[in-house]
Amino acid sequence: MIELNVTQSDGTNKAVPIELDAKVVDLSNQSIVAVDLTELDNLEGLEKLILSGNRLMTIDLTVLAFSPAIQTVDLNSNNLRILDLEPLSYCTNLVHLNLSSNQILRVNLAPIAGCKNLEYLNLERNRLVNLDVAPISKCAKLEELNLLENPLKRLDLTALFSCASLKSLMVPKDTRLISKRKFEVELLNPPALNELIGKGRIEFSQE
């Protein structure tokens, strides 16, 4: 048995017991404003970490670098503004990453390049004005990328043409979509990008 120390919005501190053989740690909807995840490095079989529906403004994910079995990280519906994803570069089995409904102003996606099995990335309902999606080109299995409800002014999609499995790319309707290479609709393209080309959404330029 391990214990995770959490602080709730009313100032209460408590220790949450977790079994050593736990595959899922679900601390959702508990009004948590701070949590120390350090003890999770004792859970060799941890597959899912769920902290959705809390009031976290920051979180240290360092321990996930020592959680090789992790497949799902769900941090949706918190108050996160800046998030360091570097520990995820070691999470080669990560499949689902949900960061939606936060206040994220900027995020470096470079560590995501190490997530070779990532299929789902949700950044919907944040405050992103700029985003470099180039690192995602290393995620060959990515099927869904959700960027809706962000104030993105411009998004370079060039690198995403390497994501052959990308079936769903959700972007704000007012975001200017560009590609620095000319692509026609063809079977080798990701289905999601063929759809955007067909709708005339992507500007092809030599910028």
Contact 125, 147 (CB under 8 A): no
Instruction: Give the C-alpha separation, 98 to 74, whole Å.
Output: 5
What local confidence, expressed as pLDDT, does residue 171 receive? Answer: 93
Mean pLDDT of 61-77: 95
Residues 111-140: tens digit of each pLDDT: 999 999 999 999 999 999 999 999 999 999
Sole residue written with tokens 């408590």: 14
Q: 188: pLDDT confidence band, cut at 50, 70 and 90?
A: low
Domains, in order of start, for the chain: 2-204 (3.80.10.10)
pLDDT at 27 over 80: yes
Q: 162: pLDDT confidence band, cut at 50, 70 and 90?
A: confident
Sole residue written with tokens 């999770």: 40
From the number of C-beta atoms within 10 Å of its C-beta (0-12, 13-18, 19+), residue 206 rates as exposed
Instruction: Give the C-alpha separation, 184 to 205, whole Å.
Output: 13
- Cα 202 vs. chain centroid, distance in angstroms? 24
pLDDT at 207 over 60: no
Report the mean per-residue pLDDT for the chain.
91
CA-angle at 77, arms to 168 and 36, nearest 5° = 115
DSSP string covering 37-103: -GGGGG-TT--EEE-TTS--S----GGGGG-TT--EEE--SS---B---GGGGG-TT--EEE--SS-
pLDDT at 44 over 60: yes
CA-angle at 94, arms to 123 and 194, nearest 5° = 55
Strand partners, 69: none
Q: 199: pLDDT confidence band, cut at 50, 70 and 90?
A: confident
pLDDT at 56 over 70: yes
Q: Which long-range contacts (CB under 8 A, 24 or more apart) does 64-67 make?
A: 64/37, 64/40, 64/88, 64/90, 64/91, 65/89, 65/90, 65/91, 66/41, 66/90, 67/40, 67/41, 67/43, 67/91
| Cβ neighbours around 83 below 10 Å, total | 21
